[in-house]
Structure 1
Amino acid sequence: MRNNSRFAHVQTFDIDRVAAAAGADPDVLRMENLDTDVPPPPNAVTATAQALATGQGNSWLPFNGLPVLREAIAADLRERTGHDYDPARQIVVTSSGTAAVMPVLLATTEPGQRVVLTDPTYAGLLQRVRLADARPYLVPLRVDGGMWRLDRDALAQVTEAAAIIMMSPSMPAGVVLTHEDWTAVAEACERLDAYLIYDAAMERIVFDGHPRINPCRVDGLAARTIVIGSVSKEYRMIGWRIGWVAGPADILSRVLTAVTYNTTVASGFAQIGAAVALSEPSGVAEAVAEYQARHEAVVRQLDGLPLVRAAGGWACLVDAEELGIGARELSDRLLSHGRIAATPMTAWGEEVARRYVRLVYSNEPVKRLNELRDRFTAALP
């Protein structure tokens, strides 16, 4: 059987491996996967159920998404970005935010062109760059004062790229980009004539004291920015698998072609629920407060260990090598000795990422997280 070069450097998430090893043991702290026990908006659940009962959305059309959802996305983007997006020409609904990444890469890059990401970054972004036959170029995140910071000097040294992919808050590190960071991104995009692909999946999951800045509000970025959003994180609607792309009309026409010939159309039932989540109160602030409380519980429990605080998001990272052990071995020991399922970041970047193990706190309440120190102590060599 012939090899396929697109898959030569693609790595697995490792999430499923850790989850399978953990099994269904209720004693295990489930910190390997981005599920959440914070419920989705009840109004969205009701709207979805009603759509199922009445047959609304049970159609192949329209390929770019139901008008009610595209209009809700446009209204949400107007509030976030300060810009108006034409629901008919500048917004395409996709089967989740992650499913939007490949069509956007196909629309913005040629084979062999460079795409800039951070190290660490979400493995679903990094590996899709490889599958799109583009070349990832990783700019490191650095730990400064116990928090992650973008290495702006390293970004300024990039000499060529077709696109820059950024996420704020990011997965898996939880870095929140400052206005100075976004200005550096804008300068890089202008210098390189590159698009900014902005994964906004967690934009509002930001903790107290940290900025929440949409890049489209930064001078020079709006015209170059392609926004990828979804209802999975902010609205806790993981199983709906609804996302979207918004941006310049010429790029969105290409995105729509790629989406249509891949998935044809996202679930109509789920689109109706997503439209309600975007249009009505959906408990985002309350959910963020709960995630922040869980993050602080993790920080308290692991005080004195090489944990890097997150400024937002659903997870934070612990430096396995600082503990004198490899990330894969620490992940294995946490499960076998501490009953903690946690994913090594070996597929989530390069030199920086491979040092770390991710601790997801979105699916474990504070009461259970308060057992974390004892479990870690049992796991460390």
Structure 2
Amino acid sequence: MPTTAQRLSVFSESVIRGTTRLANQHGAINLSQGFPDFDPPEVLLEGLERATRGPFHQYAVTWGAPRFRTALAKKISHFSGIEVDPDSELVVTCGSTEAMMVAMMTACNPGDKVIVFSPFYENYAADAILSGAEPIYVPLHPPHFNFDEDVLAAAFAQRPKAIVVCNPSNPSGKVFTREELLIILKYAQQYDTWVIMDEPYEHIIYAPHTHTYFNTLPGAFERTITCNSLSKTYSITGWRLGYVHAPASVIAQAKKVHDFLTVGAAAPLMEAAVGALELPDSYYHGLTELYSAKREIFLDILRSTGLPFTEPQGAYYVMVDITALGFANDTLASEWLIKEIGVAGVPGSSFFREPVNHLIRFHFAKREETLMAAGERLAGLSARVNAGR
């Protein structure tokens, strides 16, 4: 029997999705895979009902239904201040996952190098490898997950074709400052490097932190490929609606990659989502308030356990130090938490290139009652933590 592709041997299947399966098997509260357990805005539900009765069941335009792209361009322009041409500067994809793959394959040739900050969302390294590129890892140092400019400069000196930046960051919750982004831009300009931004948590930011759109920095637009999705902002992770935003010359190439990867996103879902893209600013203010409240509830739960953690600046993830639980590594701790405590979190080692195995990533994109139920289960950890000190 012939062998499968060698490139598949250097990464495993998703640890996040594997943790979800284990959580389902043992009836654990799933704080591993980052999806809400509450409904999206009513305008989306109403739009979906209308779309199922409309003429939207066949292929849309490959790079996105015109009405959806027009609404999306207006929404991006409103928040970033950049005028967006919906016909030449956008490709609608099957979620940000496809958007990242489209961006990587558009930017990179086999043999190119790509800078990836560590910890990183697990898809980034796999995307680079599947594109035939080689990841260069630059560590982010806890508790604030800042980078060392000298280390970053050394990585750029290897002349990478691209750098991937998730802002706000999954899994760390870091929000890159404008000053940090300007440092990245300085080296990207010096070495003529693409900057691939992944920004699905753009509207989930906690005061006093603020989100800076990288492509708005002076001289940045021409080398920025922005990937994003509607999943987190509108609580529709299962709809798989994402997009790539870049200069027209880049999008002309990205359209070809997207066309042969997936043909197009789901036509009825694009139609249904137009209303969400037209929501007023009050929706986004409410989203910040919603997640700020959930964040405080869950951080209070963690404080009661005695386990150290890093307060997220954005997104809805928390990295928790489980050293005091006494396990040899985070995988064993994660399995024990699922089977014995009934709460699922992702082993932090799956996000790091470095040998980091004392962290668990939890998320708090859940109803208050779900978080409180998780809190009741986690309450017993305090005795074990105190005993381990």
Q: TM-score range by the shorter chain?
A: over 0.9
Partner residue, 2:269: 270
Partner residue, 2:146: 149
Q: For 2:376, which of 350, 371, 375 is the aligned residue?
A: 371
**Which AA in structure 1 matches 2:9?**
A
Q: TM-score, normalised by structure 2?
A: 0.91
Partner residue, 1:31: 31
Spell out, residue by residue over 1:91-132, the C-alpha distance to the aligned partner (whole angstroms, 9 max, x if none): 111111111111111110011211111111111222111111
Cα separation, 2, equivalents of 1:321 and 1:189:
38
The question of whether the paired residues in 1 share the 8 Å contact of 2:322 and 2:358 is answered with yes
Partner residue, 2:105: 106
Cα separation, 2, equivalents of 1:192 and 1:21:
44
Partner residue, 1:17: 18
Answering whether residue 336 of structure 2 is matched by residue 339 of structure 1, we say no
Partner residue, 1:298: 298
Q: Alpha carbons of 1:97 and 1:353: their partners in 2 closer, same or farther (altered >3 Å)? A: farther
Q: Alpha carbons of 1:323 and 1:39: their partners in 2 closer, same or farther (altered >3 Å)? A: same
Spell out, residue by residue over 1:274-296, the C-alpha distance to the aligned partner (whole angstroms, 9 max, x if none): 22211124833323322222222
How far is 1:307 from its partner? 0.9
The question of whether the paired residues in 2 share the 8 Å contact of 1:337 and 1:379 is answered with no
Spell out, residue by residue over 1:316-349, the C-alpha distance to the aligned partner (whole angstroms, 9 max, x if none): 1113457553110110121122211111133323
The question of whether the paired residues in 2 share the 8 Å contact of 1:34 and 1:363 is answered with no
The question of whether the paired residues in 2 share the 8 Å contact of 1:94 and 1:243 is answered with yes
Partner residue, 1:131: 130
SS at the partner of 1:291?
helix
SS at the partner of 1:357?
strand
Cα separation, 2, equivalents of 1:2 and 1:24:
32
The question of whether the paired residues in 1 share the 8 Å contact of 2:100 and 2:227 is answered with yes
**Which AA in structure 2 matches 1:20?**
R
Answering whether residue 324 of structure 2 is matched by residue 313 of structure 1, we say no
Q: Alpha carbons of 1:340 and 1:22: their partners in 2 closer, same or farther (altered >3 Å)? A: same
Q: Alpha carbons of 1:290 and 1:61: their partners in 2 closer, same or farther (altered >3 Å)? A: closer
Partner residue, 2:352: 349
Answering whether residue 200 of structure 2 is matched by residue 197 of structure 1, we say no
Partner residue, 1:59: 58
**Higher percent of residues as helix:** 2
**Which AA in structure 2 matches 1:252?**
I
Q: For 1:358, which of 349, 357, 361 is the aligned residue?
A: 361
The question of whether the paired residues in 2 share the 8 Å contact of 1:140 and 1:352 is answered with no
**Which AA in structure 2 matches 1:376?**
L
| Gaps in structure 2 of 5+ consecutive residues | none
Spell out, residue by residue over 1:65-94, the C-alpha distance to the aligned partner (whole angstroms, 9 max, x if none): 111111112112212322212111111111
Partner residue, 2:283: 283
The question of whether the paired residues in 1 share the 8 Å contact of 2:26 and 2:342 is answered with no
Cα separation, 1, equivalents of 2:125 and 2:324:
25
Cα separation, 2, equivalents of 1:40 and 1:352:
38
Cα separation, 2, equivalents of 1:344 and 1:106:
29
Q: Alpha carbons of 1:378 and 1:32: their partners in 2 closer, same or farther (altered >3 Å)? A: farther
Cα separation, 2, equivalents of 1:195 and 1:378:
49
Q: TM-score, normalised by structure 1?
A: 0.92
Answering whether residue 19 of structure 2 is matched by residue 4 of structure 1, we say no
**Which AA in structure 2 matches 1:276?**
G
SS at the partner of 1:228?
strand
How far is 1:13 from its partner? 1.9
How far is 1:170 from its partner? 0.9
The question of whether the paired residues in 2 share the 8 Å contact of 1:126 and 1:348 is answered with no
SS at the partner of 2:145?
strand
Identity, in percent, stands at 25
How far is 1:354 from its partner? 4.3
Matches within 5 A, 1:81-230: 81-144=80-143, 147-158=144-155, 159=157, 160-230=159-229
Q: Alpha carbons of 1:318 and 1:355: their partners in 2 closer, same or farther (altered >3 Å)? A: same
Cα separation, 2, equivalents of 1:140 and 1:194:
19
CA-based RMSD of the aligned residues comes to 2.1
| Gaps in structure 1 of 5+ consecutive residues | none
**Which AA in structure 2 matches 1:23?**
N
The question of whether the paired residues in 1 share the 8 Å contact of 2:230 and 2:236 is answered with yes
Cα separation, 2, equivalents of 1:12 and 1:21:
14
SS at the partner of 2:212?
coil
How many residue pairs were aligned? 377
